[in-house]
Amino acid sequence: MIPIRDTTKSKSIPIVNYILITLCGIVFLFEVSLSSRLELLVFRFGVIPVDVSMLWLNHQASVGTLLTLVTSLFLHGGWLHLIGNMLYLYIFGDNVEDRLGHGPYLIFYLLCGIGASIVQVYSNQYSTAPLIGASGAIAGVLGAYFLLYPKARILTVIPLFIFFPVVELSAFFFLGFWFVMQFLQGSLSSGADMGGGVAWWAHAGGFLVGAALLPIFLLWKRM
């Protein structure tokens, strides 16, 4: 299912959301310019699960390794990876930013991304394949949207072979179905070295992290 837009209107300009989308776009253009040197960038700034696991086992902090939990959120593996992530962020992020406020939304987004990466690392602790992409953080945004706007309508394209019907689905169904699919795919892929595949547990984990953090950030806003 491909979302086109939602029916929930934001009351404020989603400045942070626009900045995040712009940064991801700029970083990706830089990636494209690197050509053969791109692999070095990905291994330097992507999350390497085995490196993070070693921090847990050795109880030693490595600033460089910890920073990859943030830097990896701005790297993408291709145009489809980037466009798909930014489409979801554009559609669902503005409303979550509207409810949380600009500064708290940025912190929320980064924490969701970090939490999603940790969940993925835990699912395959000794993988040497780098994890990159904003999808874990965006999954957290989806988890928040799921709780905030369950009755919102999502205009959705459903690819059916040569037909592409456009229907309106409730956010509860659309995002609930999305989460179930990530969870099932994660269960089927457990133990596999992703090697450039999809980090399903980062998606499912990010969604749950976002849902768990939302009440804390709403309380923060009220205070």
Average pLDDT per block of 10 residues along the chain, 223 residues long: 90 96 96 89 92 78 87 94 96 96 96 96 89 96 97 92 88 95 85 65 96 95 82
Edge-first strand order for the sheet with 2-6 is 2-6, 153-157, 166-170
What pLDDT score does 193 carry?
52
CA neighbor of 48 nearest in space, from 66, 74, 27, 61: 66
Instruction: State how far the Cα of 117 lies from the Cα of 111, in Å rounded to an integer.
Output: 10
DSSP class of residue 134 equals S
Both tokens of residue 61?
A: 């902090």
Q: What is the pLDDT of residue 212?
A: 97
> Residue 157: left if φ>0, alpha if ψ -120 to 50, beta else—which one?
beta
User: Domain extents for the chain?
Assistant: 2-222
Residue located via tokens 């547990």? 201
CA atoms of 39 and 50, how far apart (whole Å) = 17
Q: Which of 57, 148, 154 is nearest to 97 (CA)?
A: 148
The pLDDT of residue 1 is 85
State the pLDDT at residue 187: 84
Residue 114 · residue 29 · CB < 8 Å = no
Q: Does domain 2-222 have CATH number 1.20.1540.10?
A: yes
Place of tokens 């969701």: 112
pLDDT computed for residue 190 by the predictor = 64
- Nearest Cα residue to 48 out of 122, 135, 127, 133: 127
pLDDT, position 133? 94
Number of H helices, E strands in the chain: 9, 3
Residue type for position 140:
G
Residue 17: predicted pLDDT: 97
